[in-house]
A and B are shown apart, each in its own frame.
Chain A
Amino acid sequence: MTERTRVEVELTVNGRSHRVRVEPRRTLADALRDDCGLTGTHLGCEHGVCGACTILADGEPVRSCLMFAVQCEGMDLRTVEDLADGDRLHPIQQAFWENHGLQCGFCTPGFLMLSAGYLAQNPDPDEEELRAVLSSNLCRCTGYQNILKAVRQAAEVMRG
Chain B
Amino acid sequence: MIPWIGQPLPRFEDPPLLTGEGRFVADLTRDASFLRFVRSPVAHGRIVSIEAPGRITAFTADDLRQVRPIRPLLHRPDFHPIEQPVLASGKVRFVGEPVAVVVARTPEEAEDAAEQVFVEIEPQDPVVSAPDALRPGAPTVHDHLEDNVVVDARFETEGVDEVFAGAAVVVEFDLRSQRQNALPLEARGSVASYDPRSGRTTLTASVQSPHVIRTILADLLGIPESDLRVVVPDVGGAFGQKFCLAPEDVVTAWVARRLRTTVSWVEDRRENLMSSFHSRDHHYRVRGAFDRDARLLAVDADLLCNIGAYSCYPVTCGVEPLMALAEFPGPYDFRTYRVRSRGITTNTCPMAPYRGVSRPVITLAMERLMDLAAVRFGIEPAEIRRGNLVSEFPYSSATGLVYDEGSYVESLDRAVEEIGLEDFRDRQAAARSEGRYLGVGISVFSERTGYGTSAFAARSMDVTPGYETVDLAMDPSGNVEVRLGASPHGQGLETTLAQLIGDELGVEPARVRVVHSDTDRTPYGWGTFASRSLVIAGGAARLASDRLRAKLAAIASAELEAAPEDIVIRAGRATVAGTDAGIDVSELARLAYHSSHRLAGGMDPGLTATATYDPAGTFSNACHVAAVEVDPETGGVRVDRFVVVEDAGRLINPMIVDGQLHGGVTQGIAGALYEEIRYDSEGNILTTSLMDFLPPTLAEVPTIEVHHLETISDATITGAKGLGEGGTIGAPAAIINAVADALRPLGVEVAEVPATPSRLRRLVSESERIPA
Pairing of A with B:
yes
Binding site for B on A (CB under 8 A): 1, 4, 23, 25-26, 30, 33-34, 37-47, 49-50, 52, 79-81, 83-84, 89, 93, 96-98, 100, 102-109, 112, 131-132, 134-148
Name which residue of chain A comes closest to B727, CB basis: A143
| A82 shortest CB reach to chain B, Å | 9
Q: Which of A44, A79, A100, A136 is in CB contact (< 8 Å) with B185?
A: A44
Q: Is B17 a contact partner of A89 (Cβ separation < 8 A)? A: no
Q: Is B659 a contact partner of A30 (Cβ separation < 8 A)? A: no
Q: Is B18 a contact partner of A47 (Cβ separation < 8 A)? A: no
Q: Is A138 a contact partner of B690 (Cβ separation < 8 A)? A: yes
Name which residue of chain B comes closest to A110, CB basis: B185
Q: Which of B489, B655, B667 is in CB contact (< 8 Å) with A100?
A: B655
- List chain A residues, Cβ under 8 A from B662: 142-146
Within the assembled complex, what's the spacing in Å between the Cα atoms of A29 and B563? 64
Q: Is A47 a contact partner of B663 (Cβ separation < 8 A)? A: no
Please tell me if B689 contacts chain A, counting CB pairs below 8 Å.
Answer: yes
Please tell me if B462 contacts chain A, counting CB pairs below 8 Å.
Answer: no
Of the candidates A26, A45, A79, A80, the one having the most CB atoms from chain B within 10 angstroms of its own CB is A45
Closest 7 pairs between A and B when the two form their complex, measured CB to CB:
A40-B20, A106-B236, A105-B17, A104-B490, A143-B666, A143-B662, A39-B27
Contact with A along B650-673 (1 / 0, CB 8 A): 000001101100111111000000
Within the assembled complex, what's the spacing in Å between the Cα atoms of A97 and B105? 38
Of the candidates A37, A43, A80, A137, the one having the most CB atoms from chain B within 10 angstroms of its own CB is A43
Q: Is A105 a contact partner of B20 (Cβ separation < 8 A)? A: no
- List chain A residues, Cβ under 8 A from B187: 44
Q: Is A40 a contact partner of B663 (Cβ separation < 8 A)? A: no
- List chain B residues, Cβ under 8 A from A104: 184-186, 234-238, 489-490
Name which residue of chain B comes closest to A132, CB basis: B699
Q: Is A97 a contact partner of B10 (Cβ separation < 8 A)? A: yes
Q: Is A46 a contact partner of B269 (Cβ separation < 8 A)? A: yes
CB proximity to A under 8 Å, residues B445-500: 489-492
- List chain B residues, Cβ under 8 A from A105: 13-14, 17-18, 22, 234, 236, 490
Within the assembled complex, what's the spacing in Å between the Cα atoms of A103 and B671? 20
Please tell me if B161 contacts chain A, counting CB pairs below 8 Å.
Answer: no
Name which residue of chain B comes closest to A147, CB basis: B698
Q: Is A139 a contact partner of B185 (Cβ separation < 8 A)? A: yes
Q: Which of B27, B113, B700 is in CB contact (< 8 Å) with A1?
A: B113
| B182 shortest CB reach to chain A, Å | 8
Q: Is A50 a contact partner of B185 (Cβ separation < 8 A)? A: yes
Please tell me if B772 contacts chain A, counting CB pairs below 8 Å.
Answer: no
Q: Is B663 a contact partner of A102 (Cβ separation < 8 A)? A: no
User: By DSSP majority rule, is chain B's interface helix, strand, loop, or mixed?
Assistant: loop
- List chain A residues, Cβ under 8 A from B704: 143, 145
Please tell me if B697 contacts chain A, counting CB pairs below 8 Å.
Answer: yes
Q: Is A30 a contact partner of B691 (Cβ separation < 8 A)? A: no
| A60 shortest CB reach to chain B, Å | 19
Q: Which of A23, A135, A141 is in CB contact (< 8 Å) with B699?
A: A135
Given the known A-B contacts A52-B185, A93-B19, A104-B236, are A143 and B27 also in contact in the complex, defined by CB atoms under 8 Å?
Answer: no
Q: List 18 A-B contacts (CB under 8 A).
A: A1-B55, A1-B113, A23-B108, A38-B20, A40-B19, A44-B186, A44-B236, A47-B690, A50-B690, A79-B20, A104-B237, A104-B490, A106-B186, A106-B236, A140-B185, A142-B659, A142-B663, A144-B698
Given the known A-B contacts A131-B699, A135-B698, A140-B184, are A103 and B19 also in contact in the complex, defined by CB atoms under 8 Å?
Answer: no
Q: Is B699 a contact partner of A39 (Cβ separation < 8 A)? A: no
- List chain B residues, Cβ under 8 A from A46: 268-269
Q: Is B183 a contact partner of A47 (Cβ separation < 8 A)? A: no
Q: Is B698 a contact partner of A84 (Cβ separation < 8 A)? A: no
Please tell me if B695 contacts chain A, counting CB pairs below 8 Å.
Answer: yes
Name which residue of chain A comes closest to B27, CB basis: A39
| A28 shortest CB reach to chain B, Å | 14
| B168 shortest CB reach to chain A, Å | 41
Name which residue of chain B comes closest to A37, CB basis: B30
- List chain B residues, Cβ under 8 A from A93: 18-19
Of the candidates A96, A104, A147, the one having the most CB atoms from chain B within 10 angstroms of its own CB is A104
Q: Is A100 a contact partner of B237 (Cβ separation < 8 A)? A: no
Please tell me if B52 contacts chain A, counting CB pairs below 8 Å.
Answer: no
Given the known A-B contacts A47-B269, A141-B659, are A109 and B666 also in contact in the complex, defined by CB atoms under 8 Å?
Answer: no
| B490 shortest CB reach to chain A, Å | 3
Given the known A-B contacts A140-B185, A140-B239, are A103 and B20 also in contact in the complex, defined by CB atoms under 8 Å?
Answer: no
Within the assembled complex, what's the spacing in Å between the Cα atoms of A40 and B19? 7
Within the assembled complex, what's the spacing in Å between the Cα atoms of A146 and B8? 13
Within the assembled complex, what's the spacing in Å between the Cα atoms of A46 and B402? 47
Please tell me if B26 contacts chain A, counting CB pairs below 8 Å.
Answer: yes
Known: A34-B29, A100-B659, A138-B697. 4 other contacts (CB 8 A): A96-B18, A105-B236, A135-B700, A145-B703
Please tell me if B593 contacts chain A, counting CB pairs below 8 Å.
Answer: no
Within the assembled complex, what's the spacing in Å between the Cα atoms of A117 and B251? 42
Of the candidates B15, B236, B491, the one having the most CB atoms from chain A within 10 angstroms of its own CB is B236
Please tell me if B638 contacts chain A, counting CB pairs below 8 Å.
Answer: no
Q: Is A103 a contact partner of B24 (Cβ separation < 8 A)? A: no
Within the assembled complex, what's the spacing in Å between the Cα atoms of A145 and B705? 10
- List chain B residues, Cβ under 8 A from A100: 8, 10-11, 655-656, 658-659
Name which residue of chain B comes closest to A89, CB basis: B18
| A86 shortest CB reach to chain B, Å | 11
Name which residue of chain B comes closest to A136, CB basis: B697
- List chain A residues, Cβ under 8 A from B665: 143
Within the assembled complex, what's the spacing in Å between the Cα atoms of A137 and B697? 7
Q: Is A135 a contact partner of B703 (Cβ separation < 8 A)? A: no
- List chain A residues, Cβ under 8 A from B655: 100
Q: Is A97 a contact partner of B15 (Cβ separation < 8 A)? A: yes
Q: Is A33 a contact partner of B698 (Cβ separation < 8 A)? A: no
Please tell me if B21 contacts chain A, counting CB pairs below 8 Å.
Answer: yes
Contact with A along B98-127 (1 / 0, CB 8 A): 000000110111001100000000000000
Of the candidates B11, B186, B268, B727, the one having the most CB atoms from chain A within 10 angstroms of its own CB is B186
Q: Is A140 a contact partner of B667 (Cβ separation < 8 A)? A: yes
- List chain B residues, Cβ under 8 A from A34: 29-30
Please tell me if B521 contacts chain A, counting CB pairs below 8 Å.
Answer: no
| B325 shortest CB reach to chain A, Å | 29
Within the assembled complex, what's the spacing in Å between the Cα atoms of A132 and B698? 8
| A81 shortest CB reach to chain B, Å | 4
Q: Is A103 a contact partner of B113 (Cβ separation < 8 A)? A: no
CB proximity to A under 8 Å, residues B19-44: 19-24, 26-27, 29-30
| A135 shortest CB reach to chain B, Å | 4
| A97 shortest CB reach to chain B, Å | 5
Q: Is B108 a contact partner of A26 (Cβ separation < 8 A)? A: yes
